[in-house]
Chains A and B, each alone.
Chain A
Amino acid sequence: QKEVEQDPGPLSVPEGAIVSLNCTYSNSAFQYFMWYRQYSRKGPELLMYTYSSGNKEDGRFTAQVDKSSKYISLFIRDSQPSDSATYLCAMSYSGAGSYQLTFGKGTKLSVIP
């Protein structure tokens, strides 16, 4: 079993739709949970950062972490064509593990105008 599982998609939605992206993980030591967004031919950029369980909201984006289920989600409300990108979940833990970021394989999202 891979440490982090993420459905690679691709996912295609109409503009204005609510998008749900998910990852599951197996390592219960993970404490820090991130979503990175990667536009075509660009480097990943941090979109959302969450510590431990709970929700975090930033504009149209909401990140959820459920440590008991080892499951994290990213919701995008009122999706825009500019949201078209690959979304990578990533996880880390403290101490020596803070240097080791484990990524999911990424979900490619297309938002159709």
Chain B
Amino acid sequence: DTAVSQTPKYLVTQMGNDKSIKCEQNLGHDTMYWYKQDSKKFLKIMFSYNNKELIINETVPNRFSPKSPDKAHLNLHINSLELGDSAVYFCASSQVTSRPGELFFGEGSRLTVL
């Protein structure tokens, strides 16, 4: 029973298209995140939601729009995809009141823009 699950795992698409990645966690956590990992493995936060409220919104193009319909779900929609958007996108969750910084990651969604 996967704790943090993301779909799809692999996504290959053309420049200019719009795509979405979905994430669900069954850990009962109150905070969810989107991270981007580039080709050099650097993991950088994009967004964070706590109890459906956006609390971190890093310098990310506004083509990226997160949406949290409830505490257990956080989706990422990307408009007008560009070559530079190719990366692995990780969803994560945490219970901030327990151990700060302890995140549970999904397996990642590997996006390739052609």
- Complex CA distance for A18 and B100, rounded to whole angstroms: 29
Q: Which one of A19-27, A60-68, A94-102 contacts B? A: A94-102
With A43-B108, A99-B50 as given contacts, are A105 and B103 in contact (CB-CB < 8 Å)?
Answer: no
Selected A-B contacts with CB under 8 Å, 16 pairs: A31-B100, A32-B99, A41-B107, A42-B107, A43-B4, A43-B105, A45-B105, A49-B101, A49-B102, A88-B43, A92-B100, A93-B100, A99-B56, A100-B56, A101-B45, A103-B42
Number of A-B residue pairs with CB-CB distance less than 8 Å in the complex they form: 66
Contacts of A73 in B (CB 8 A): none
From B96, which residue of chain A is reached at the shortest CB distance?
A: A98
- What is the number of residues of chain A that contact chain B, defined by CB distance less than 8 Å? 28
- Which residues of chain A from 14 to 48 have any CB-CB distance to chain B below 8 Å in the complex? 31-32, 34, 38, 41-46
Q: Is the CB of A99 within 8 A of B31?
A: yes
Q: Is B66 an interface residue (CB 8 A)?
A: no
- Complex CA distance for A97 and B105, rounded to whole angstroms: 19
Q: How far is the CB of A72 from chain B (nearest CB, A)?
A: 13
Q: Is the CB of B102 within 8 A of A99?
A: no
Q: Is the CB of A92 within 8 A of B101?
A: yes
With A86-B41, A105-B42 as given contacts, are A98 and B100 in contact (CB-CB < 8 Å)?
Answer: yes
Q: How far is the CB of B58 from chain A (nearest CB, A)?
A: 9
Q: Is the CB of B101 within 8 A of A44?
A: no
Among the listed A41, A88, A99, which residue makes an inter-chain contact with B108, where contact means beta carbons less than 8 Å apart? A41
> When each residue 84-103 of chain B gets 1 if its CB lies under 8 Å from chain A and 0 otherwise, what string results?
00000010100010011111
Q: Is the CB of B42 within 8 A of A106?
A: yes
Contacts of A32 in B (CB 8 A): 99-101
Q: Is B83 an interface residue (CB 8 A)?
A: no
Q: How far is the CB of A43 from chain B (nearest CB, A)?
A: 3
- Complex CA distance for A28 and B54, rounded to whole angstroms: 26
Contacts of A42 in B (CB 8 A): 107-108
Q: Is B55 an interface residue (CB 8 A)?
A: yes
